[in-house]
Amino acid sequence: MGSPLFDLTGKVAVVTGSSKGIGKSIAMHLALQGARVVVSSRKAPVCEEAAAEIRAAGGEAIVIPCNISDKAQCQTLISETRKRLGPVDVLVCNAASNPYYGPTEKMPDEAFMKIMQNNILSNIWLTTMVLPDMRAKKDGSIIIVSSIGGLRGTPVIGAYGISKAADMQLARNLATELGVDNIRINTIAPGLVKTDFARALWEDPKNLERRNSATPLRRIGDPDDIGGIAVLLAGPAGRFITGQTIVADGGVTIGN
């Protein structure tokens, strides 16, 4: 018998950017603990594939595509979830953008603005949209997938790091505002994880070897290393955690 602290039976969970990588792992593990999950990203076919995997594993999942850069689409995502599954209990803001690699001084304004809108503003939109459901129940969990890029300086993904640091502060702010309604907001800050999104950082063998040797656990992350943390934060096991950032990086940030 599993611990009731990790039981999400009957919970409705929306996970953005969940057609692959970390988002798909989060959606999968929430569903395997009993949540009814909405798989969402820009492209419906890849969402359908992910949802089919979840259903094949014994979970419940539906698909509602959404481009998080479009506020109207975000509203449709939440309103359609409410219509098809019921009020939202868990929101996972995982979708993000990083269209620029390089020094800050050469970064186009358009790239910076896209990163800020998709990685911060969309999280505010979605959070605001689910608040009526959570306030009515006096219960809810909002999880923002941040990054250790928000904790360290970087010469390569500076704007992305700024946005991820802002997400951590957003969670702290919202936690102080919404705690009175028993709504918890936390972030997860992964290190380098083997996903398509981070492919530029790990697919070169020499770069990967350097990363592994500099990591206390001597490996980069796997999406499932993050999925379980979301289960913790989504349910009763995390009911006394709010405004926090859980770092999952194999120990990178404790080293030199």
State pLDDT tens for residues 166-201. 999 999 999 999 999 999 999 999 998 877 666 666
User: Among all residues, which ones are annotated catalytic?
Assistant: 160
Q: 90 versus 101: which is more confidently predicted?
A: 90
Alpha-carbon span 178 to 156, nearest angstrom: 35
* Confidence tier at 1 by pLDDT (50, 70, 90): low
pLDDT of 38-47, one tens digit each? 999 999 999 9
The residue type found at 153 is: G
Q: Which of 53-57, 102-106, 252-256 has the lowest mean pLDDT?
A: 252-256
Find out whether 11 and 36 touch, Cβ atoms under 8 Å: yes
Give the whole-angstrom CA distance, residue 121 versus residue 243: 18
Q: Note the pTM of the prediction, 2 decimals.
A: 0.95
pLDDT at 117 over 70: yes
CA contacts within 13 A on the Cβ side of 203: 6
Domain spans, the chain: 9-195+223-250
Q: CA angle, corner 247, sides to 205 and 89, nearest 5?
A: 120
Q: Is the pLDDT of residue 103 over 80?
A: yes
Is domain 9-195+223-250 given the CATH code 3.40.50.720 in the classification?
yes
pLDDT of residue 207: 77
Q: What is the pLDDT of residue 197?
A: 62
Confidence at 203, pLDDT banded by 50, 70, 90 = low
146-173 pLDDT, tens digit each: 999 999 998 888 999 999 999 999 999 9
- The runs of H, that is alpha helices, within the chain are 21-32, 44-56, 71-84, 109-116, 122-137, 158-178, 199-202, 205-213, 223-234
Q: Looking at residues 112-118, what average pLDDT do you find?
A: 95
Express as a percent the part of the chain with pLDDT over 90: 81
Per-residue pLDDT of 229-245, as tens digits, reads: 999 999 999 999 999 99
| Distance from C-alpha of 202 to C-alpha of 33, rounded to nearest angstrom | 31
